[in-house]
Amino acid sequence: MIKKIISLIIVTLTVFALAACSSGSGDNAKYKAKEVTDKVRAAMTDLGELKETDMSSDTWTNIMAYVTDIPQDKVKDLDYLYMTDGSAEEICVIILSDEDSAKKVESDMKNRINVRKSHFETYDPAEISKVEAACALRSGNTCILIIGNQAQNGKFEFNKMMSE
pLDDT at 145: 98
pLDDT at position 19, please?
A: 39
Q: What is the DSSP string of 30-46?
A: -S-HHHHHHHHHHH-TT
pTM: 0.82
pLDDT at 2: 61
**Backbone phi and psi for residue 146, each to the nearest 5 degrees, phi listed first:** -130, 120
pLDDT in tens, 32-49: 999 999 999 999 999 989
Helix (H) or strand (E) holding 162: helix 151-163
d(CA 115, CA 131): 10
- What three-state secondary structure class fits 153? helix
In the chain, domain spans = 27-163
Mean pLDDT, 10 residues at a time, the chain of 164 residues: 50 40 50 97 94 93 93 96 93 97 98 96 94 97 98 98 94
Residue 1 CA to its chain's centroid (Å): 52
pLDDT on residue 160: 97
Q: Residue 18 has what pLDDT?
A: 38
Q: Which of 104, 89, 112, 97 is nearest to 138 (CA)?
A: 104
Q: How far apart are CA 34 and CA 68, in angstroms?
A: 18
CA 87, distance to chain mean position in Å, is 21
- CB distance 92 to 109 below 8 Å: yes
Strand segments (E) across 6-141: 51-54, 75-82, 90-96, 135-139
For residue 10, the model assigns a pLDDT of 47
Can you give the pLDDT at residue 1?
Answer: 57
Strand, coil or helix: 89: coil
pLDDT of the residue at 120: 95
